[in-house]
């Protein structure tokens, strides 16, 4: 009974209101044509003038969409479904398309406001805003590396053409409506948070209040039926997450009562007393978690066990937030299970065997370098939190 009451008291937290609000905002954005406007705005930057430009548009659009929805699943569902046919029209192979949209979707885990970082901050007792800031630079590095790998692929593939003459992403209504309201959304939300105007929870509410009128009244691409479906979807997702949070808080208490982190640290130090080697083992464990489960489950399972261990090793809990995000993101696209990779294959119409070589190249030349730098160069993830006075 003590554990049940403890779990219930821990999830009675105003910070957790951000979960249903950001989930609902992501659903509204997906249904309301805002994602299409974001893609059109990015494409207008001139990437269509270079060969392979649509791949860069995919990476940047995923990062911008992640700054609104905070979810990898919402990012791949919206950006992937829009960009997949366009990439294929421009000569991209289905295997590469599936790999690219899967990897880019993971930017939703890193670019704030990230659902994973909200959960990490809550479970680990860290500032959520500091965790948001810690993942920005690794996220930007991934965008650059994804774009670079894409350009090398485009240079070697003779079938890929420039997209300069391609038409903007079509919409059924409001074709002449400006993209500015859609483009302003991430700046309004993040500006309110880091400008000290609103808390994370209030900014999550703002994202819903902003998105619904823009989708329904300005772009007029969202009906009352779509809004109802979005509310139902957000409710179901939130219910699952809250049940997981309840269970995790009970497990976390049991871990603490039975000294599980201390026993694991003792076991790891018996293998090697080098913090660098221990961090390699921890990274491998988190990649494995990412391969087997979604990012939410991975964060909730890994944080209460591993955070005390890395703190003993001298790793900042804020830096570890970025390490967790990159690890689980990489695990989500790493075979054999790779939850996001299979979703990317479903959207692009590609078989996993077609995506595998392209995925391994993205892991080797984008994910691994980012993970190594994030793990062993603390200033990379701590620069912005220090700049804003969080550590």
Q: What is the pLDDT of residues 302-359, one digit of tens each?
A: 898 899 999 999 999 999 999 999 999 998 898 777 778 888 888 899 998 899 999 9
Does residue 348 contact residue 94 with C-beta atoms inside 8 Å? yes
The fraction of the chain above a pLDDT of 70, given in percent, is 91
337 versus 290: which is more confidently predicted?
A: 290
**What local confidence, expressed as pLDDT, does residue 358 receive?**
95
In a 10 Å sphere around its CB, with 0-12 CB exposed, 13-18 middle and 19+ buried, how is residue 109 labelled? buried
Task: Tell me what the mean pLDDT of segment 35-63 comes to.
Answer: 84
Higher-scoring residue by pLDDT: 92, 185: 92
Is the model more confident about 83 or about 45? 83
Q: What is the mean pLDDT of the chain?
A: 85
**Choice between 98 and 47, residue whose per-residue pLDDT is larger:** 98
Q: What is the mean pLDDT of residues 215-244?
A: 86
- 165 and 129 in contact (C-beta within 8 Å)? no
Residue 135 pLDDT greater than 90, yes or no: yes
Whether 175 shows a pLDDT value over 70: the answer reads no
Q: Which domain does 53 fall in, by range?
A: 2-387
Mean pLDDT of the 160-178 span: 56
pLDDT of residue 59: 94
3-state helix, strand, coil in the chain (%, to 5): 80, 0, 20
pLDDT of residue 48: 66
CB atoms within 10 A of CB 55: 30
Rounded-to-integer distance, Cα 213 and Cα 104, Å: 28
- Residue 191: predicted pLDDT: 85
Q: What secondary structure letter does DSSP report for 1?
A: -
Pick the closest to residue 25 from 296, 237, 210 (CA basis): 210
Q: What pLDDT is stored for residue 317 in this prediction?
A: 96
| 144 token code pair | 């650059």
- pLDDT tops 70 at residue 241: yes
pLDDT band for 248, please (50, 70, 90 cuts): low
Predicted confidence at residue 67, as pLDDT, reads: 81
Asked whether residue 164 carries a pLDDT value surpassing 80, the answer given is: no
What confidence category does residue 172 fall into, taking pLDDT thresholds of 50, 70 and 90? Answer: very low
Which segment, 92-96, 107-111, 286-290, is predicted with the most confidence on average? 92-96
* 348: its two tokens: 């692009």
**Average pLDDT for 233-260:** 77
What confidence score (pLDDT) does residue 167 get?
52
Taken as a whole, the chain contains a residue count of: 391
pLDDT at 2: 53
Q: Which of 61-75, 151-165, 234-248, 344-358: highest mean pLDDT?
A: 344-358
Mean pLDDT, rounded, for 95-113 = 90
Question: How does DSSP assign 12-49, residue by residue?
Answer: --GGGGHHHHHHHHHHHHHHTTHHHHHHHHHHTTTGGG
Give the count of domains, the chain: 1
Contacts 24+ apart (CB under 8 A), 153-158: 153/52, 153/55, 153/96, 153/358, 153/361, 154/51, 154/52, 154/55, 155/51, 155/52, 157/91, 157/92, 157/93
The pLDDT-based confidence of 8 (bands split at 50, 70, 90) is low
Surface-to-core class of residue 26, CB atoms within 10 Å of its CB (0-12 exposed, 13-18 middle, 19+ buried)? buried
Residue 261 has pLDDT above 80, yes or no: no
> Does residue 372 carry a pLDDT above 90?
yes
| pLDDT recorded at residue 153 | 93
pLDDT computed for residue 99 by the predictor: 95
The Cα 315–Cα 310 span in angstroms is: 5
Q: pTM for the whole thing?
A: 0.85
pLDDT of 280 over the 90 cut = yes
pLDDT at residue 111 greater than cutoff 80: yes
Mean pLDDT of 161-177: 53
* Structure confidence at residue 174 as a pLDDT band (50, 70, 90): very low
> What percent of the chain has pLDDT above 90?
33
Q: What is the CA radius of gyration of the chain?
A: 21
From CA 340, how far away is CA 145, in angstroms rounded? 19
């Amino acid at each position: 009974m003590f554990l049940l009451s403890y779990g219930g008291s821990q999830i009675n937290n105003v910070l957790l209101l951000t979960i249903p609000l950001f989930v609902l905002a992501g659903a509204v954005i997906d249904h309301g044509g805002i994602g299409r406007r974001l893609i059109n705005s990015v494409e207008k930057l001139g990437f269509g003038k270079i060969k392979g430009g649509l791949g860069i548009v995919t990476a940047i659009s995923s990062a911008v969409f992640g700054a609104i929805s905070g979810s990898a699943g919402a990012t791949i569902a919206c950006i992937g479904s829009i960009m997949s046919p366009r990439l294929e029209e421009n000569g991209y192979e289905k295997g590469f398309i599936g790999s690219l949209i899967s990897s880019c979707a993971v930017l939703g885990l890193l670019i704030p406001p990230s659902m994973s970082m909200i959960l990490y901050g809550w479970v680990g007792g860290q500032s959520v805003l500091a965790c948001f800031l810690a993942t920005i630079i690794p996220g930007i590095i991934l965008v650059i590396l994804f774009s670079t790998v894409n350009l090398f692929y485009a240079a070697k593939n003779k079938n890929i053409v420039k997209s300069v003459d391609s038409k903007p992403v079509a919409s059924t209504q409001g074709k002449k409506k400006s993209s500015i309201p859609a483009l302003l959304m991430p700046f309004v939300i993040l500006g309110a948070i880091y400008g000290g105007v609103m808390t994370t929870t209030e900014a999550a509410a703002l994202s819903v209040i902003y998105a619904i009128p823009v989708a329904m009244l300005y772009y007029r691409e969202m009906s009352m039926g779509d809004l109802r479906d979005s509310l139902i979807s957000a409710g179901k997702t939130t219910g699952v997450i809250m049940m997981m949070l309840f269970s995790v808080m009970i497990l976390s208490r049991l871990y603490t009562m039975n000294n599980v982190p201390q026993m694991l640290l003792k076991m790891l130090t018996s293998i090697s007393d080098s913090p660098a080697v221990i961090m390699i083992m921890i990274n491998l464990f988190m990649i494995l978690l990412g391969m087997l489960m979604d990012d939410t489950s991975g964060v909730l399972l890994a944080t209460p066990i591993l955070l005390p261990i890395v703190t003993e090793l001298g790793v900042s809990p804020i830096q570890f937030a970025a390490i967790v995000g990159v690890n689980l993101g990489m695990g989500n696209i790493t075979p054999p299970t790779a939850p996001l990779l299979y979703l990317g294959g479903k959207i692009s119409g590609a078989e996993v065997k077609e995506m595998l070589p392209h995925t391994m190249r993205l892991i080797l030349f984008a994910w691994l370098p980012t993970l190594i730098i994030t793990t062993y160069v603390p200033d990379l993830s701590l620069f912005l939190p220090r700049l804003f006075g969080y550590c």
